[in-house]
Amino acid sequence: MATRVVAQPAAILRRGVRLGVSWQRLVLLAPALIILGAFLIVGIFANLLSAYDPEEIVLIRRLIPPAIQEGGSWAHPLGTDNLGRDILSRVMYGARVSLLVVVICIPASALIGTFIGLLAGWRLGWWDRLLMRLVDVQLALPALLFALLISVVFGRSLLNVILIIIIFSWSGYARLVRADVLSLREQEFVISAQASGASDQRILFRHILPNILNTIVIMATLDVPAVILIEAALSFLNIGVAPGTPSWGAMISEGRNFMTIAWWPIWMPGIAILLVSLTGNLMGDWLRDTLDPRLRNVR
């Protein structure tokens, strides 16, 4: 039976996990999991956890240093920014912005990219040429440039940021999926499924897709830090979220002007970005090494 040959993702996952976790890995993975968990919890429950309204401006308490430094107080553990907004609360709400971007952009671009990759790799011919040129166009127009244009023409908002990121990250999935389909379609189990009269849909979704699911999951994990960094960069350049929105990138952009007199407004969100993106990269690397070592050179 042709279906027998199809890899079971669950089985690979089990085998991968057993092979993958060494003590060395665990030392790295445990803190990563803790940070990831904290990021999720803080992002989801930002409104319950934060003591202040992140957008509340109180000028008399501007630029209070963090609690550990002289002049700081535990009322504002990470200090306040140039408009007297509580930095801890802003970092927490910033986690929510990043989380939102991740949760919406990655599934959306993975779905679009997978669909296009399947179509291009299976149909070939002019479908393939058309779709791959589309990928080239997207690669030749850096996301930042397009984002610039969008922000001027349609204004700054979180929704625009999300749309821009989706427009610019589906192509990675499309390329990867297409390449996998190209090699899978020559495999015997696919050829025999075709010979037994299976429809295109059935072959793609029952035979080919389960075999490339790992690839997609790994790519999606590695995309988490990438997507967070893009949002932060856009907001840093003032072409991302709407003014005032507590995004990590926007906080750094605002704190920049006071960098010489106050270090904390740019350090705190910077450390938050660094931790989350470091975690995402480590998790992605680990998944890749355990599930699919041949992907090592993709990025």
Partner 1 sequence: MGVQSILSILVSRLLQGILVVFVVVSVVFLVSRLARNPVEYLTTDETTVEEKELLKEQLGLSGPIGIQYVNFLIDAVQLDLGNSFISARPALSEVSSRASKTLQLGAAALIFSLALGIPLGIIAALRRASPTDWLARLLAVLGQATPNFWLGLMLIFFFSVQLGWMPTGGSGGVKHIILPTITLGLLTSAVSMRLTRSGMIDVMNTDFIRTARAKGLRESTVIWRHALRHALLPVATILGLQVGYLIAGTIIVEQVFAWPGIGRLMLHTITVGDFPVLIAAILVISTSIVAANILVDLSYPIIDPRIRAGGR
Distance CA 103, CA 113 (A): 16
Contacts of 264 (CB under 8 A, 6+ apart): 65, 66, 69, 78, 79, 87, 255
Residue 51 contacts partner 1 per CB under 8 A: no
Q: Could you tell me which stretch among 89-97, 116-124, 156-164, 225-233 binds partner 1 (CB under 8 A)?
A: 225-233
Count of other CB atoms within 10 angstroms of residue 92: 25
Contacts of 266 (CB under 8 A, 6+ apart): 251, 252, 255, 256, 259
CB of 62 to partner 1, least distance (A): 20
Residue 225 contacts partner 1 per CB under 8 A: yes
**Nearer to partner 1 (CB atom), residue 150 or residue 204:** 150
Instruction: Identify residues 264-293 at the interface with partner 1 (CB under 8 A).
Output: 266, 270, 273-274, 277-278, 280-282
Instruction: Identify residues 134-163 at the interface with partner 1 (CB under 8 A).
Output: 136-137, 139-146, 148-154
User: How is 114-160 classified by DSSP, letter by letter?
Assistant: HHHHHHHHHH-HHHHHHHHHHHHHHHHS-HHHHHHHHHHHH---HHH
Distance CA 247, CA 146 (A): 20
CB of 158 to partner 1, least distance (A): 18
Residue 63 contacts partner 1 per CB under 8 A: no
Distance CA 272, CA 247 (A): 11
**Nearer to partner 1 (CB atom), residue 150 or residue 216:** 150
CB of 7 to partner 1, least distance (A): 24
Binding site for partner 1 (CB under 8 A): 133, 136-137, 139-146, 148-154, 225, 229, 232-233, 236-237, 249, 252, 256, 259-260, 263, 266, 270, 273-274, 277-278, 280-282, 296-297, 299
